[in-house]
Amino acid sequence: MASRAEQFQVLVAQQPQNALFRFSLAQALLNEEHAAKSVPHFEFCVASKADWMMPRILLGKVLLQLGRPEEAKPLLSAALLLAIEQQHEEPERELRALLADS
């Protein structure tokens, strides 16, 4: 039986410009402990939509996990602005804490 990541890799191969498939693949890779492999897919999602907060949060967290805080901070800051603008209080609190700790 194929893993979730493998299932989404098939969909991404069929429709490489589909940001939702890319996002789902990135999440599956992250859940299957392949954080580094999720990075290009999260980056695609970040580039695809200026007001999409979640890929910025997840990519920022992955970059922190990979020891790349200088790359993570601008993403997390952008996500914080989106959380405030979109009135997402829980992500706002989480992002403020992540930025304070990084």
pLDDT tens-digit readout, 10-61: 999 999 999 999 999 999 999 999 999 999 999 999 999 999 999 999 999 9
Task: State the angle between helix axes of 19-31 and 35-48 in degrees (0 to 180), rounded to the nearest 10.
Answer: 160
Helices (H), 1-102: 4-14, 19-31, 35-48, 53-65, 69-85, 89-101
For the 4-101 domain, the top CATH level (class) is: mainly alpha
Tokens of 12: 């991404």
Residues 6+ apart with CB under 8 A from 46: 52, 55, 56, 59, 75
pLDDT at 79 over 90: yes
Q: How far apart are CA 101 and CA 63, in angstroms?
A: 14
What distance lies between CA 13 and its chain's CA centroid?
19
Whole-model pTM: value is 0.94
The reported pLDDT for the residue numbered 89 is 96
The reported pLDDT for the residue numbered 51 is 96
What distance lies between CA 29 and its chain's CA centroid?
11
